[in-house]
Structure 1
Amino acid sequence: MFNPFSHLIPERQTTQDAAFPSSLQVSDEALALKALIHGQQLSAVFQPLLDCRAHSYMGFEGLIRGPENHPLHSPDALFGAARRNQMGLELEYACLQTILIAFAHLRLPGKLFVNASPACLLDPRFKDVENQTFMRHLGLPPSRIVIEVTENQDITDFPEIQSTLAYLRSLGFQIAIDDLGEGFSNLRMWSEIRPEYVKIDRHFITGIGQDDLKFQFVKAMQDLAETCSAHIIAEGIETATDLQTVRDLGIAHGQGFFIARPHASPLKSPNQEVLDMLCSRRVAVFPQAIASSSITTARTLLHYIEPIAHHADNDQVFLRFESDPQLEVLPVVEGDIPVGLINRHTLIDRFSRPFRRELYGKKPCTLFMDPAPLVVDENATVQELGLILSRAARHYLFDGFIVTCQGRYTGVGSGHDLMALITEMQISAARYANPLTQLPGNVPINEHIDRLLKAGVRFAACYADLDNFKPFNDVYGYRRGDDVIQLLGQILVEVADARLDFVGHIGGDDFLILFQSNDWEARCARALKMFDEQVMPFFNAEDLERGGLIGENRRGEVVLHPLPALSIGALIAESCYYESHHEISTAAAEAKKQAKKQRGSSLFIERRRPISQNLPHHDGNPPDLILAS
């Protein structure tokens, strides 16, 4: 077969003689790498890229492997060896050749994504006409190739790379950038390169269904991609929940182990589990709607700074600060245990005095460090951190804090970032969450209802409200009333399935649960029972004995009010009968009123279909009423 790379890959028998005067001048690693490249011992594997809308593979990413059971089998080992031995371009060209031939041989459908470093793209040989002839010979037109620009080296000449990419686009190639979100530099790459495809780093996708911060990052990236007319590819999809969340965010393409692992001979269409997930009409409950996702820890604020050993001298510390103008503090460790923190301005101020550097430059860095820095575990919540900082000495706010995992150094956090995060959380909570329960408020409730209706999902909207709650507040006070409201919120979260069901707090003692669980009636019955059992400790013995609360009615008369109970009005909602959250909320509130007409905790299920907007009527199926003592 015609090989355009022959001028880059010498014949095997002349490799060592041509490249090296003596085998003693090269390492065993370099020789091993040369042998793999020129012995054509590299092999290609392909990982599918899923089209969530078409339910098919839109293409495959070509990846490279060394021989099985070889020290250079993994791509990390291969490219690490190439960097150490200045053989990066040689390896890249060999990988490209191997992947192109294997892709053509397997007759895989869709596009082929191939990785190329900026250095490879700028190499004149990459644009050689023979390469285009080689691809035509394989039956691979440029329109089927997406060049994935990797960020394993900095781009120093953007105009030149833009010119190269413009030429490649004129031939029909498309461009992608990899690992968006891994660093600020690839945000600039996006701006400068304007790729057709953008791959979101797997860190932000794996676990996105349970992580509010990851979800918000990815949502922002998706919004930006739509503005730039770029296609987002979500890497690192490892669970059905990850895929469902990505799908419901509107991201069209995904890649990850849940979809398919890299394989030398991959299947040409998705497996049944993936198809079932894509065809499912259930709507993902976005993570900001899950109560537990509101717990933000010090890990969120963690920023890794390479620490300095306790036996290092002050001159070494000074050089670290001098080489990095952005470095404000330097953690000091003994092994991997933090023992102190050195402030940039403190050290430089001391060194600026006459003869101080000459006197103290060779002294141990522990001389000028703070031996009692603020140290917190990575699982400490943001609220706990804020309280700790507010009670600590003022300098800790500027120096920040050291973050540990089981006592071992993992990074540092800044007081400025902590204050910014707390402020952001408070603003977000005020707009989107109830401050008493931290459950989603009216805005996310309405958004989730509209998403369910848009998806055509059949769901149950259950309006939960407490009966006789005002007399309880009058007798026991608002503080005890808040405790009961929090109890109800906890019960509703517990009976709901966080993967399918949305629990929102409308305000006061009013809650709304949007069930996609098939057993939602049993879950409601369980909530009624749990409330009746767990609310008992909130009453004193006298009220329990008389079975009610002594208080005044609206006319000022002393009466016996029943003990508070839980009423749930349930509405079976379908998009063919309801068009917006306004109609759902009105109909659910009407169902709740029917439930409140019954004494004690009760569930009322409205099964009647509306004959006009917001107006329920009988269709021969009477509503159901379930009572719970």
Structure 2
Amino acid sequence: MPLRNAAEDVGRVIREGLLHPVFQPILDFRAQAYLGFEALIRGPASSPLHRPDQLFAAARSAGLASALEHACREASLRAFARLGLPGRLFLNVTPGCLLDERLMNGETCRLLNDLGIAANRVVIELTENQQITDLPGIHEGLLHFRGRGFQIAIDDLGEGFANLRMWSEVRPEFVKIDKHFIHGIADDRMKYHFVRAMQDLAEICHASIVAEGIERCEDFAFVRDLGIACAQGYFVARPASSPDRQLLPTVVQALAQKQLALSPAGARMATAINLLRPVPPAPFDASNESVMARFEADPELDVLPVVRGDLPVGLINRHILFERFARPFQRELFGRASCTQFMDQAPLVVDQQATAQELAIMLALAPKHHLFDGFIITGGGKYLGVGSSHDLMAMITEMQISAARYANPLTQLPGNVPINEHIDRMLAAGKSFVVAYLDVDNFKPYNDTYGYRRGDDVIQLLGRLICQSVNQGIDFVGHIGGDDFFVVFQSADWEARCWEIVDRFGEAMQPMVGASGHGGGGYMAENRKGELVFQALPTLSVGAVRVHPGDCDSHREVAAAVSVAKKEAKKGDKNLPGRPPGGCVFVERRRSGQVDDSRLAGSVLKPCLESAAGQPKEACRRPASTSRKVSAEE
């Protein structure tokens, strides 16, 4: 298409319908399926106006930006309907065009009705390329569209107008993080902290985060493990005029390569599959009359899913359909029409592996009617059955009661039962992991001298230090009882984390003896004979065992092996005569299935490098390999 002048060229593109929408999928991590598609526009092929940046620049210079944007919306909506794409449609709208008369006067709603697209499937995505000057007007426009069922998204957080103030005032349902903060996040600690802060704000504001610009598998996995709701980028899928509705094999593989997640408070992990009710679905070409017959034949059937092949496309609510057909002549007029006419075209769809916690968050963020309708459960994107909010709440309540029953009352950390259950889960999953048994040395003299309240303070302090030093997303922390703690590590740098706990505990104990403290790393107190003697400060001994698939058959074998390692750790101070005792980490290097109660050959004993007084030990200095950088999980 040869160029003449901006006004003529852009005008011709609009008049002759030379706009070509493409759609880029947005992945919902929790459902492991596409949440929807963002509509992107392309101009005429083999033309300088093919690229959207050049197309819109020409339109702005010709004073046709609003007309072009309106044409883009209409072309995108028509293409979305023609392709029959599932889920939501994200439509880009500049703030200046939000109050366009063609948007506000009902023209867009009439087009949606003609195309059969429900307003609650459309997300108005406020783009960043224009400064907002009329904030009250924007609020008025947003109120107008929300009242008609539309949802709102802010694009490119961190760029342009989409700042924290805008987020707090617009209160969008979706917030898209600019790709600058996502690309390379797996290797950039600063980007991690930025995105983590945005995620925390999103939870407070009840918004879902969409991470844009994901191009690497490493960044994809990192964003997923951060708890981000959605992902978009070339790694997920590239924009296409007719996008595939199934996840790419590389994405499916990346989703499957996930370390075993921890359940809240260590309780048994419950997922959507535990809530599954295998309701036979209705095909998308079924009539309303046949759906009514299903409901009338089964009084317990509250919702009926609708599928196209084996892919879910909607959900029909019993009461809504009965209410429609109760009106005069409705059954006669619409009985033979397709059941898609009265179905919810944007149902809540979740993957069978979604946890109870993830399901609760999704329901809290979803429109209220999903609380009554429930959700569709899929496996690999294919329909399996339905689940109800009532059953989910009952399951969560049961989990909370179970967690409270087995939690340690002092630290509220999981006790022996959930510890054993978690180890058995790890063994059943065939995962490699490390178990660590942490025990406080010299605790009884301290407890006797300062009282049980101060002793409880030490135990609670240690519990906090352990939780702060592990990766709480993948490392399990339990409290066996008294001054004994247990950690199941999946972190690759577990050994350095153990040393960090030892070091931080030693430092924290210094001020806990008050004025009676002694410069040699202890305090003066009476022994059982009433004699005033020097008592060493409490320190920490850690016994650790690597567990590989096939090493152990049950948690009992794991517990026996790590108990032996803990005993060896507590012997460490005896190797350092004349020095104040320090903490140590004992690592059993052999297969844990070979461990017995004898002294372990091939093990490594590494006393703490620094004594309580800050002086280096004389023997067995800590290897440099145990030092670690602060990881992104912190």
TM-score (norm: length of structure 2): 0.47
TM-score (norm: length of structure 1): 0.47
Could you say which structure has the greater relative contact order, defined with CA pairs below 8 angstroms and 6 or more residues apart?
2
